[in-house]
Amino acid sequence: MSAAHDELKHDAAAYALGVLDAAERTAFEAHLATCAECTADVRQLRLAAGALAHAVPQVSPPPSLRARIMGQVSFAAPPAAASAVVVHDRRGLPAWLQIAAMLVVGAGIFVYAQRMQARVSNLEAQLQQAQAQVATADRQTAELRTVAFRAQSAMGVFAAPDVARIDLAGQAVAQAARARALWSRQRGMVFTVANLPALPPGRVYQVWVVTAQAPVSAGLLTPDASGGGSVYFETPVDILPPVAVAVTLEPAGGVPAPTGERYLIGTPSAL
Amino acid sequence: MVIWLFAAVVGFPGRSSESQAEDQQSLQRVAAGDAGGLGALYDRHGRSVYSLALRILGDEGDAEEVTQDVFAQAWRRAGQYDAARGSVAAWLLVMARTRAIDRFRARRVRPEGRVQDDDGLTLQQLPATSPDAVSEMMAAERGVRVRRALEDLPFLQRVAIELAYFEGLSQREIAERLEQPLGTVKTRMRLGLLKLRDALVEVQP
């Protein structure tokens, strides 16, 4: 320390004059950070070094120089305030300090980028959630529309001029079951049922409109806990007049043609 | 030394701090894009900037170009000026010295085909004058005293300081130029600069 001081204190003047080379400068600044004596020395020597600018013979520049300078800036873009604020003149800062500053700024940008990334992810998640909610709302609206349409259609069946009534009787496997179908070629079929046995797992009731050609599936029927329910089915407009309506027990999802046991069956009668 | 430092910091609050306040106002106008602010700065400091460049370069045309560069740079970088690091006058003079020495070196090195020493010295890294130098540097009579003090220095001390300040030579380059040992140059430079400081201190009341 003391040996370093004895050697480096002689560089104080050159340092104050700004003429140390890079290696000398680094060594001197390292010493400066720990030496109060040299720090005070540099302070005073800089004062003297700065005074040298005024020690030169003062000579007036030609008057035309002012006009040139003013002409130069009046055609130049005005100073950019933003860049001027951000970019600092680092002249005189030691190299390690400049690097440290860059590292700090770099770390800051990194942290900022990380935060922005987290924020973007968060916003994306929120957006997905919102989109999911919209999709749910859309689906619910569609479902409600269908329900409304069906209710309207069901009402339409009752008022249809061509409505036919088919009462169905429980068969051997479900003797207590009863059902009534109201069918209109234009408006479809309202099917009301009571006392059907509870469905075995993996099974579903399927309603058939039996025509002269073949049974046509009207749709699936899942009765409530009491074995009852009321369902509206659309039926093809070009369907042949039904000769019977039947309910069979079929595998879940239904089948194209009846395969299972008949639970209910009935034939049309005039209203 | 404590007394001296006290005097250096609080001394001469009059004219120099007033002109520094004026300079800062002008510089704020410049930063806002007002060319009038630059004109005011030039009127107050154009002469000393030009004189320093002329002393370093010894050529009027070159000195004019450097002066033009300095004020163009002041126009572009007014927002970067930091009052904590020195007066506006010192800021302009540091720019003048840096640019003039850069030009001087380019002129000196190229015709001789000499490869410039890779000593890493760039004048961009020259330290600014210290804040308390600010108030000291403003008065013109101070300059006269410094010049006299410089002239009174022993030859080797004076030349070492002048080569460093006006030509930006390193201690090693000065030792080569003067054919003196490096250690001698170091001690002479330090001694001479301390005497200049003493000359400044003597003018303090």
Structure tokens at B82: 């930091």
Q: Judge if A217 and A139 occupy the same domain.
A: no
Note whether residue A21 is domain-resident: yes
What would the mean pLDDT of B107-128 be, rounded to a whole number?
Answer: 43
Domain boundary among the residues A10, A28, A52 is at: A52
Is the Cβ–Cβ distance between B141 and B96 less than 8 Å?
A: no
Q: Write out pLDDT tens, residues B122-164.
A: 443 444 444 444 444 455 566 777 888 888 899 889 999 999 9
Residue A180's φ and ψ, nearest 5 degrees, are -140, 135
Q: pTM (2 decimals)? A: 0.52
Alpha carbon dihedral A173, A179, A184, A188, in 10-degree steps, equals: -70
Note whether residue A153 is domain-resident: yes
Is the Cβ–Cβ distance between B184 and A10 less than 8 Å?
A: no
Residue A18 CB neighbours (<10 A): 25
Rounded to 5°, angle at Cα B70 from B145 and B157: 35
Looking at residue B3, its pLDDT comes to 40
CB nearest B42 (choices: A16, A66, A74): A66
Is the Cβ–Cβ distance between A53 and B92 less than 8 Å?
A: no
> Per the structure, how many domains does chain A have?
3
Note whether residue A232 is domain-resident: yes
Burial label, A182 (beta-carbon count in 10 A; 0-12, 13-18, 19+): buried
Contacts of A61 in chain B (CB under 8 A): 46-47, 50, 63-64, 67
CA distance, residue B114 to nearest chain A CA (Å): 18
Looking at residue A76, its pLDDT comes to 58
CB of A46 within 8 Å of a chain B CB? The answer is: yes
pLDDT band at B182 (very low <50, low <70, confident <90, very high): very high
Contacts of A97 in chain B (CB under 8 A): none
Show the domain range for A127: 107-159
* CATH assignment of the domain containing A216: 2.60.40
Q: Judge if A116 and A202 occupy the same domain.
A: no
Q: Judge if A202 and A147 occupy the same domain.
A: no
Q: Judge if A182 and A256 occupy the same domain.
A: yes
Q: Judge if A218 and A261 occupy the same domain.
A: yes
Note whether residue A62 is domain-resident: no
Q: Judge if A207 and A265 occupy the same domain.
A: yes
Note whether residue A168 is domain-resident: yes
pLDDT along chain A (271 residues), means of 10: 77 91 89 90 86 87 91 64 43 75 84 84 87 85 74 70 86 91 84 90 92 88 87 82 90 90 86 48
Looking at residue A78, its pLDDT comes to 55
d(CA A241, CA A212): 8
DSSP H helix total and E strand total for chain B: 10, 0
From A195, A227, A70, select the one nearest B38 (Cα to Cα). Answer: A70
Q: Judge if A233 and A155 occupy the same domain.
A: no
CA distance, residue B168 to nearest chain A CA (Å): 6
Structure tokens at B48: 């000393």
* CATH assignment of the domain containing A44: 1.10.10
Q: Judge if A185 and A144 occupy the same domain.
A: no
The three-class DSSP label of residue A35 is: coil
Asked whether the beta carbons of residue B196 and residue A48 sit closer than 8 angstroms, the reply is yes
Note whether residue A46 is domain-resident: yes
Q: Judge if A133 and A198 occupy the same domain.
A: no
From B146, B102, B142, B140, select the one nearest B123 (Cα to Cα). Answer: B102
Give the CB-side neighbour count of residue B198, counting CA atoms within 13 A. 10
Q: Judge if A215 and A265 occupy the same domain.
A: yes
The string of DSSP letters for B16-63 reads HHHHHHHHHHHHHHHHTT-HHHHHHHHHHHHHHHHHHHHHHH--HHHH
Q: Judge if A263 and A175 occupy the same domain.
A: yes
Contacts of B38 in chain A (CB under 8 A): 69-70, 73
Note whether residue A27 is domain-resident: yes
Domain boundary among the residues A126, A159, A192 is at: A159
Q: Judge if A141 and A184 occupy the same domain.
A: no
List the single residue in B with minimal CA-CA distance to A16: B127
From B204, B205, B200, B90, select the one nearest B145 (Cα to Cα). Answer: B200
Structural domains of chain B in order of their starting residue, each with its CATH number:
13-124 (1.10.1740.10), 139-205 (1.10.10.10)
Note whether residue A219 is domain-resident: yes
